[in-house]
Structure 1
Amino acid sequence: MHKIVLAVTGASGSIYPKQIIEKLLSIHDQWQELAVVMTDNAKQVWETELDNKDYERLLHDPAHHITTWSVKDFLAPFASGSGKFNTMIIAPCSMGTLGRIANGVSSDLITRAADVILKERRKLICLVRDTPYNLIHIRNMETLTLAGGIICPATPSFYSKPTTIEEVAATVTDRVLDLAGLDIKTFRWGSSE
């Protein structure tokens, strides 16, 4: 069973964590724990882009079995390798967050948790959304990749012929959940299903 940390930073792309949370809730039998850390900037961007505060409903409904943590709370179980969280998804991952992780700066719970995931040789997936990349971004992505992280740019695919923004975003979020090792129903190239 997966123990997952979902970190949401203030980069554009609030549709991605929204879909990831909703999809994880639909496959609750595949994970044991879901912990979410969301920055204040992430909340502001969510409200701007999605015109709602659905993160409050999604994250604070007791039926969802999600724990939420402040970016300043280093007592979270995933701030230590002994917490046994095996997957961390940062969606969207700002270039500032990526740079701090790549350079070993554990200044908040998100960067500390990523450091723990990497040192324990567990799965770190960074859904980077910035464009274009400058050389610093590229080098930080290289450093993170060499350390064992997975860089997953928010680059949609169009094989499935998406017709809505939600369907376009799903081509990215489904890829992230695939990378996390979860069994999801999604378009598969060459599949008849």
Structure 2
Amino acid sequence: MPEFTKRVTLAITGASGVQYAIRLMECLIAADVQVLLMISKAAQVVAATETDLSIPGATVAQQAYFTKMFNAKADQIKVFAREQWMAPVASGSGAPATMVVCPCSTGTLSAIATGASNNLIERAADVALKERRQLVLVPREAPYSEIHLENMLKLTRMGAVILPASPGFYHKPETISDMVDFVVARILSQIGVEQSFMPRWGEALLQSDENTPAQD
């Protein structure tokens, strides 16, 4: 079995913005990260609506589909079904130290906040919380209701990171891909995976030969 630099659980749910998840997966594979993947049925519907992707329904076919798409190594992408309770992500003894839900629907947000664990995505997030591991949630909704905000606050207090899919514009994006990259770069930074496609704020000054302090 190949050795990977890191293992990350990635869940894709039915909020708009599946493009973020696809780009994130591409970056993780390129960084030699093993991805333990779960895709909700709603996410498959959104993907068909927002993109030209035709994600298969069966997990085995999904695994082959994404492995081919990203030219991944053998076993670098492992896909698990909605009720595959023997999957490693279902237990603290087998789950990776990092989980990302991208995009995270407000329904999934609510289920995680209440510990519902009605499917493997919800259970994997519950494991991350109970084991005090890294959980990054990427909601995409507008506007947020009081329920959404209360769930985000509750999860933040539990230790999760709420990272909304809210692209910035100070890098002067010219394409939709530039805006997607902004959010994906922030996710990668949170989970400790290096990226080179999005410069960090102030990085140009650190690399500059102009070491003269700014004048007041």
Q: TM-score, normalised by structure 1?
A: 0.93
Q: Tell me the CA shift for residue 58 of structure 1.
A: 5.0
Cα shift readout 1:100-141 (whole Å, capped 9, x = no counterpart)? 110111100001000000111110000000110000000000
Residue matched to 1:6: 10
User: Contact 2:29–2:72 (CA<8 Å) still a contact in 1?
Assistant: no
Q: Aligned partners of 1:133 and 1:2: how far apart in 2? A: 33
Larger Rg: 2
Query: Does residue 1:190 correspond to 2:202, yes or no?
Result: yes
| 3-state DSSP of counterpart to 2:45 | helix
SS at match of 2:25: helix
**What SS does the aligned partner of 1:182 have?**
coil
> Is the 8 Å Cα contact of residues 79 and 112 (structure 1) preserved in structure 2?
yes
Which ranges of structure 2 fall in alignment gaps of 5 or more residues?
Answer: 57-61, 208-216
Find the aligned partners of 2:72 and 2:143 in 1 and give their Cα distance.
Answer: 40
Q: Residue 36 of structure 1: SS of its match in structure 2? A: strand
- 2:129 equivalent to 1:118: yes
| Structure 1 Cα separation of the partners of residues 9 and 53 of structure 2 | 23
The answer to whether the 8 Å contact 2:105/2:139 transfers is yes
The partner residue of 2:168 within 143, 148, 157 is 157
In structure 1, runs of 5+ residues without a counterpart are none
Q: Tell me the distance in 1 between the aligned counterparts of 2:86 and 2:23.
A: 27
Sequence identity of aligned pairs in percent?
40
Whether 1:91 aligns to 2:102 is: yes
**AA aligned opposite 1:109:** L
**For 2:200, what is the secondary structure of its paired residue?**
coil
Residue-by-residue CA offset, 1:126-169 (whole Å, 9 max, x unaligned): 00001100000000001100111000010101121110001111
Match of 2:66 in 1: 59
Please tell me whether residue 76 in structure 1 is matched to residue 77 in structure 2. no
SS in 1 for 2:141: coil
SS for the counterpart of 2:9 is strand
Aligned twin of 2:140: 129
**Does the 8 A contact of 1:93 with 1:129 survive in 2?**
yes
Whole-angstrom distance in 2 between the partners of 1:63 and 1:112 = 26
